[in-house]
Amino acid sequence: MNRPKGQSPSRSELSERVSRKRQDYEQSNESLNRGADDVDTARQTREGVELAGVVESDAAIEQALESAEQAATSDFEQEGRQLEQKHAEGQELENDMNERAKVTIADAEKLREGQAKLHADTLRQRLQEAQAAASAVLEFLDQQEKEATEARRRSQQDYQRDLERVQNQKR
pLDDT 10s digits, 91-135: 999 999 999 999 999 999 999 999 999 999 999 999 999 999 999
> What pLDDT, on a 0 to 100 scale, did the predictor assign at position 59?
87
- Cα atoms in the 13 Å half-sphere on the side-chain side of 95: 7
Compute CA 61 distance to the chain's CA centroid, rounded to the nearest angstrom.
Answer: 40
Residue 134 or residue 6, greater confidence: 134
pLDDT 10s digits, 49-64: 888 878 788 888 889 9
> What pLDDT, on a 0 to 100 scale, did the predictor assign at position 47?
87
**pTM score, whole prediction:** 0.83
| Nearest-angstrom CA–CA distance, 127 and 130 | 5
Determine contact, residues 18/152, Cβ cutoff 8 Å: no
